[in-house]
Amino acid sequence: MSRKPEPEPKPGPAPAAEDTDEPPARGDRPDASGSDGRKRPAWARTEEAEEDDPERTTRFAAFQPPTTRAPAAPKPAAPRPSGPAPTASRPLAPAPGAPRPTTPGPTTPGPAAPRPAAPASPNATRPAAPRPAPRPQPAAPAPAAYQPPPLDLPAVRLPHTEARRRPLLRSARLWAPAGVLLLAGGLVGAQLLRPLPAPRLVAAETTRTVDGQFSVPWPAMGQGAVRVAGSGEVGSFGEQKPVPTASVAKVMTAYVILKGHPLRKNEPGPSLTVDAKAVAEGKSEDESRIEGLTAGQKFSQLDMLKMLMIPSGNNAARLLARWDTGTDSEAAFVEKMNAAARDLGMKDTTYTDPSGLDAGTVSTAADQLKLAEAVMKDEVFRSIVAMPSAPIKGLPQPLVNNNTLLTAQGLSVRGIKTGSSTPAGGALMWAAYKSVGDETPLILGTLMEQRVEGSDPNATKSLALVLSNSKKIIEAVRSALASAPLVRKGDVVGYVDDGLGGRTPLVAAKDLNAIAVPGQQFKLTLSPGASPLRREAKAGTQVGTLTAGEGDGAKSVPVAVRTALEEPSLGTRLTRLR
């Protein structure tokens, strides 16, 4: 027989709480029901009340980022009761459909919750049990402030941001190639607009030597040099150190006078008045001089130059120096001599007087050849130094040249000046000619420091020695001098450099023959023509000149491009770095 369930006792009125002056303990929580007996909504219930609510099926929780909760401060342990602890048993899970049993809330210090009253007997009423006084509990520490953990969620792209980025990305994809094209176009344009370097001619070689060999019969001592005007140096010997020049210095005196007071052929020029100093110097027995002069006597510039160069009058040299500067001293004129030497490139030459009698006037054979080539361009000078003798109106005797080679047979000597003194020994600057075909080149030479052994008053014997040795040299050079092929037509002599790495060969348009001795070395110079060098030209177009030798009488031939001269290609212009 089934047992009927006993009816649950109805709760009676709660016993009245005892009045006390003590405030409720901190841990006391209000009941889930209000003062009117109604249950509070779930959102207004406390955590303890929610645990005791049998009707609770859901729990509201704030959405918080999943993270580690900060550790709470430990609560002080409640005092244990003196009696034995009650034995707690784990409640069984309710059966499906059964009402959820009430779960006691967390144990908190303070007064116990009121118990439900026992069912009242119909015959008697039981008095309410008195409520025990709450025990004082130590104040719990304030809970730590809650810090919400950061969200650990994937990045979210907002739709409006993505929408703004899409046009920008599409624009970048469209404009990037265009920017590259614009940059490339700018670079190409800049390269094409850059001015091209000017083309220039470059010689393939700077010197060329004539075939064969030749040896000049130099003397055993001293120094000397020989050259052919326009062709260059034939040879030299000895140490080219500055030595006294003696009367060879008078060549520079004549050169300076004719530069300052040039004369035309057979023109006498201005008059010079003989002063007392020139008369006194004409009576000196230790130097060459012009005798028979009187103070106040007048001579033309041409006659005075003859007195200077033919008999080598020292007093005539000093008189010309004073006349040129308008002073009573030759010092200013000497400065002009040294300035002229520098202009001619005579680096090892120093002049201290206009006559050469002073031993401080020094030079080298090579330097004197530079002067000889320059002064022999003057027609008046050439006519004077070629004279073996010359009568002068106003002098008791004609002037006699002590350069005996002027009258030697088969030498064609036409000057220039002898010199002799004890410090210098014998010296000679000479000029000779030789006809080669339809040309007559000028041969120039200088021989210095020629001395004889033994006594030689005033270096008379040394003068004879230098004349003899010079004759041997002149004969040998004239015999060996001939026309020799130096460059053949079609020989590559250089190229046109366009400045960008392109080179077009240049060839000689004609044969180039030079008057030279065997083994003589020529200096080659390549120079552009009269018109500017073009960038484009047909093959065979003449664009410049090749010159062999130096100075007047140097030989030259035109040069032409062997192949067509063309503008630099587009690729070359785009890739050039200069």
Enzyme catalytic residues: 247, 250, 312
d(CA 239, CA 221): 10
How many Cα neighbours within 13 Å face the side chain of 112? 6
Cβ count within 10 A of residue 201: 20
Interhelix angle 331-343/250-260, nearest 10 degrees: 90
Bridge partners, residue 504, by sequence: 496
| Bond from prior residue into 392 cis (ω within 30 degrees of 0) | no
Report the residue count for the chain. Answer: 578
d(CA 525, CA 514): 14
Q: What stretch of H or E contains 540?
A: none
Q: Cβ neighbours of residue 1 under 8 Å, at least 6 residues apart?
A: none
Residue identified by tokens 């023959």 is 513
Q: What stretch of H or E contains 153?
A: none
d(CA 261, CA 475): 36
Strand order through the sheet with 555-561? 200-203, 492-497, 503-508, 555-561, 542-548, 521-528, 207-209
d(CA 21, CA 264): 153
3-state SS of 498-530? CCCCCEEEEEECCCEEEEECCCCEEEEEEEECC
d(CA 138, CA 101): 32
Burial class of residue 220, CB neighbours in 10 A (0-12, 13-18, 19+): exposed
The answer to whether the annotation marks 472 as part of a ligand binding site is no
Which of 510, 49, 472 is CA-nearest to residue 220?
472
Please, are residues 470 and 426 in contact by the beta-carbon 8 Å criterion?
no
Cβ count within 10 A of residue 157: 8
Which of 108, 94, 104 is CA-nearest to residue 53?
104
d(CA 381, CA 301): 12
d(CA 231, CA 381): 22
The distance of Cα 354 from the centroid of its chain, to the nearest Å, equals 50
Could you tell me which residues are annotated as the binding site? 417
Could you tell me which residues are annotated as the binding site for substrate? 417
